[in-house]
Chain A
Amino acid sequence: EAEVAQSPRYKITEKSQAVAFWCDPISGHATLYWYRQILGQGPELLVQFQDESVVDDSQLPKDRFSAERLKGVDSTLKIQPAELGDSAMYLCASSLSGEQPQHFGDGTRLSIL
């Protein structure tokens, strides 16, 4: 079982609605990553945190996506409003530091109707 916890595992929502994903990294891991994986493709980094600070959000669609890690522990990724093209697997990963291997959660499968 993955040690990085994500919830929910599955989310079905309608276009234009808001949706939120939660991630609890491995205890003590300072670096947290959110990835989006479209079916048949590799994961793409959306945002990376070092403690509570964002260090890379260059691929995050900031007009509709937001991410926070207020206390430097767990993190929330939000989409508002959701679009059909947002249907994908959203993966969270954590590591001790940016130089250490990343450990992945089981992801949240999002389907937009």
Chain B
Amino acid sequence: KQEVTQIPAALSVPEGENLVLNCSFTDSAIYNLQWFRQDPGKGLTSLLLIQSSQREQTSGRLNASLDKSSGRSTLYIAASQPGDSATYLCAVRSATDSWGKLQFGAGTQVVVTP
């Protein structure tokens, strides 16, 4: 069974620092990996989706890398801002799943202090 782990569970950085969030998964047979943002009491907003054949994906200040063989993905957020404060979750879709089921990590709660 696929297990997804995110470490650390919480992170606090001063504004302007770069953020590095880690995600690991136990089964390398994945279809894709997705990073989400969740604000308190809200649903999930998709940030980046990396297909299994890709090594990285970029959007603005966000960059996500994928190393399928080692079961790791990293989300980099450059020049953090207080508005980046949220919980960040990664989710993996298994290559053997026909219907698109996502397996989520527990998330990393990020606080960016002014």
Contacts and interface: CB of A to CB of B under 8 A. Distances in A.
Interface in A69-104: 91, 93, 95, 97-104
B89 interface: yes
A-side interface size class: 20 to 34
A56 B99 contact: yes
A95 B100 contact: yes
Nearest to B34: A101
Contacts of A110: none
A60 interface: no
**Residue of B42, B49, B100 with most chain A CB atoms under a 10 A cut-off:** B100
B104 A44 contact: yes
Given A56-B101, A101-B34, A101-B46, A40 B106 contact: yes
Interface of B: 4, 34, 36, 41-46, 49, 89, 91, 98-102, 104-107
Interface of A: 2, 4, 31, 40-45, 48, 50, 55-56, 91, 93, 95, 97-107, 109
